Amino acid sequence: VVARKWRTATDVVAFELEPAVGQLPTCQPGAHIDIELPNGLRRQYSLTNGPGQLDRYIIAVKLEPDSRGGSLCLHQDVNEGDVLAISPPRNNFPLRRDALRTVLIAGGIGVTPLLSMAQAMAANSLDFELHYFVRSVGHAAFGDVLDRLAESVQAHSGLSAEQTGDEIDRILGPYVETNHVYICGPGPMLDAARSRAADAGWPDAAVHFEYFSNTNEVDDGSSFELALARSALTLKVNAGETILQVLRRSGIAVDSSCEQGACGSCVVGVVEGEPDHQDVYLTETERAADDRLVTCVSRSVSDRLVLDV
């Protein structure tokens, strides 16, 4: 049930969701939920919950100018008292708690999962820095939470893309072992931050990221054989259909959420063959290892792919 809806920043509305009955499943920092919208769309939103907030989920939604109907629906049509169907939280962006230095870099609405991480770290007296890049001060969401974390938060307002990149270079510095960085924001900023981290010697394993969506054009023109090692099945994936669809049609249950290669919910292991990754979830190292793929957009370079399914 939408218990509260309020404007938390320019173009950003926040929602508190309470259970209609019973209790909500617990959630970890970095987790997201799927929401079934009244217009039939399903969208993913990160939880901004701090530790101990077990009675509600808190999300924020930015009104996207090129909204395909998700953010517009939540902004205009969903109001306090409305009932929404949601999934349990999934966490494909987990926080490590063994780092000597934890850097959180947020761009715009990408602050939401990082806010949850920041509150968890603060509650456990763990050191972290939250760098929040916004177009203007008015675009910074959840000012009350940021105020409580003020000594670990630095806002960077009104910077150009180049200035943002330079600032990220300064923030990251050269890689030091046991340092970890978590980045969430618009695709171009995330791409730039990842490449700057790589240039500064940060290994993939220390750079954690979450894209809002996969803006790559997915090429689904190939067809290939799909063998399932554990199910002893051989299937065909034709052009225009996804591995995920073919698996489900054969009665294999595979979890999914975004179904566009961004969230990682549908990852399965690869036993043999060369995947054609087209997602934005896997790191370069994971991609090169070719030992897993996301079933919603990945295909096969080889004629045959054997999955650990």
49 scored as a contact of ligand FES (CB under 6 A): no
Among 9, 24, 103, 266, binds ligand FES (CB under 6 A): 266
Categorise residue 179: left if φ over 0, alpha if ψ from -120 to 50, beta otherwise: beta
Distance CA 274, CA 289 (A): 10
Q: Name which of 289, 285, 284 is nearest 271 in CA terms.
A: 289
Q: Rounded to 10 degrees, what is the CA torsion of 39, 107, 160, 218?
A: -60
How far, in Å, are 48, 58, 137, 174, 306 from residue 257 at the CA level?
Answer: 18, 19, 32, 35, 23
Q: Identity (one letter) of the amino acid at 283?
A: T
Distance of alpha carbon 148 from alpha carbon 215, whole angstroms: 35
Is residue 298 involved in binding ligand FES (CB under 6 A)? no
> Which of 262, 268, 306, 309 is the binder for ligand FES (CB under 6 A)?
262
- Comparing CB distances to ligand FES, the nearer of 265 and 300 is 265
Q: Does 294 bind ligand FES (CB under 6 A)?
A: yes
Which of 9/47 has CB closer to ligand FES?
47
Q: How far is the CB of 265 from ligand FES (least distance, A)?
A: 4
Task: Choose between 111 and 266: whose C-beta lies nearer to ligand FES.
Answer: 266
Q: How far is the CB of 171 from ligand FES (least distance, A)?
A: 28
In the three-class reduction of DSSP (H, G, I as helix; E, B as strand; rest coil), residue 48 is classed as coil
| Identity of the residue, 255 or 303, whose beta carbon is nearer to ligand FES in the bound complex | 255
Structure tokens at 282: 């896997």
Q: Tell me the two tokens of residue 156.
A: 């960077």
Cβ proximity to ligand FES, 16 vs 34, nearer residue:
34
- Given candidates 192, 263, 282, 305, which one binds ligand FES under the rule CB under 6 A? 263
Q: How far is the CB of 295 from ligand FES (least distance, A)?
A: 6
For ligand FES, how many residues bind (rule: CB under 6 A)?
14
What is the chain's percent helix, strand, coil content, to nearest 5? Answer: 25, 30, 45
Classify 187 as helix, strand or coil.
helix
Judged by CB under 6 A, which of 281, 282, 292, 300 binds ligand FES?
281
Bridge partner residues of 305 (DSSP): 226
Q: Kindly state whether residue 309 participates in binding ligand FES, applying the rule CB under 6 A.
A: no
**CA dihedral sign of residues 56, 184, 147, 158:** negative
User: Residue 264 interacts with ligand FES (CB under 6 A)?
Assistant: yes
The residue count for the chain: 309
- Among positions 222-261, residues that touch ligand FES (CB under 6 A) are 256-259, 261
Give the footprint of ligand FES on residues 183-212 (CB under 6 A).
none
Residue among 169 and 220 whose Cβ is closer to ligand FES: 220
**Residues near ligand FES (CB under 6 A):** 256-259, 261-266, 279, 281, 294, 296
